[in-house]
Amino acid sequence: MLRARTVSDKDSRRQELLDAALDEFFERGFSAARMEDIAKRAGLSKGTLYLYFDSKDALFKAIIDALATPNLEVISAIATSAPSFSEALDRVAVFAPTVIRTSKLPRLMKVIVGDSHTFPEILIEYRQNILDRILGLFGELLSQAKAAGEIEVEDPYLAARIVMGPMLLSGLWHALFSDTPGGEVDLEKLFRMHASAMKKAFAPVENSQ
């Protein structure tokens, strides 16, 4: 392989390694993934991989770091920019299928679920920094919608789990089964139904006298 001379060369090579690693971790699991395979997948040799990451552990952590924040931001953008709960659900219905199909998020979810045990402290950190944040955003959204009289809900932060549940299910399902016969799901239709269902689920009770 040619040498990476410039800083941006190094950055892009680093990124290729992260991508390759996520793929291998996803396909084989952290323990079973081989450093040499990761390097090869990125078109490099085993030794070179170690110029970029000190260890397999470091590689794992780097993946989490590299993906957690951006993903959080995307989701955050959807949740916070929407003027209403209803509008947020519509945006989810539009974006979720694409995110599930094209982003690394579903693969990352699978890796985190599957290999979390390797670094318990990372798992806790991840939950606090990412998952709690995301649930908090949706909880906040519901909370504000409730305050605005848009919806009626007992505990907005718990309700966020009801809203997010189908997304997790769809993401993991896609990661695990999308390429097996009978494993395809019509995500567009599903999330259209999801938006509509959630709107009705939390709609204020009509007291129309």
Partner DNA sequence: TATGAATGAGTCTTCATTCAT
Partner DNA sequence: GATGAATGAAGACTCATTCAT
Residues that bind a second copy (CB under 8 A): 26-32, 110, 113-118, 123-124, 127-128, 132, 153-155, 158-159, 161-162, 164-170, 172-173, 176-177, 180, 182-183, 185-186, 189-190, 193-194, 197-198, 200-203, 206, 208
Find the distance separating the first CA and the last CA of the chain, reported in whole Å.
76
CA distances from 16 to 22, 87, 136 (A): 10, 36, 32
Which residue, 58 or 158, is less far from DNA as judged by CB? 58
Torsion 79-82-84-85 (CA) sign: negative
Which residue, 6 or 180, is less far from DNA as judged by CB? 6
CB of 120 vs DNA, minimal distance in Å: 17
Among 12, 15, 55, 98, which residue interacts with DNA (rule: CB under 7 A)?
Answer: 55
* Residue 91 burial (CB count, 10 A): 16
Rounded Cα–Cα distance for residues 103 and 82 (Å) = 22
Which residue, 15 or 57, is less far from a second copy as judged by CB? 57
| Helices then strands, each counted (H, E), the chain | 10, 0
Residue 207, C-beta contacts closer than 8 angstroms, at least 6 positions apart: none
Burial 168-183 (b: 16+ CB within 10 A, else e): eebbebbbeeeeeeee
Rounded Cα–Cα distance for residues 125 and 201 (Å) = 32
**Any contact of residue 51 with DNA (CB under 7 A)?**
yes
148 binds, among a second copy, DNA, none (CB under 5 to 8 A by kind): none
Fill in the amino acid letter for 169.
Answer: L
**Any contact of residue 81 with DNA (CB under 7 A)?**
no
**Any contact of residue 205 with DNA (CB under 7 A)?**
no
**Any contact of residue 4 with DNA (CB under 7 A)?**
yes
Among 20, 21, 44, 88, which residue interacts with DNA (rule: CB under 7 A)?
Answer: 44
CB of 173 vs a second copy, minimal distance in Å: 8
**Any contact of residue 118 with DNA (CB under 7 A)?**
no
Among 27, 29, 50, 103, which residue interacts with DNA (rule: CB under 7 A)?
Answer: 50
Torsion 17-23-163-154 (CA) sign: negative
Which residue, 83 or 154, is less far from a second copy as judged by CB? 154
**Any contact of residue 48 with DNA (CB under 7 A)?**
yes
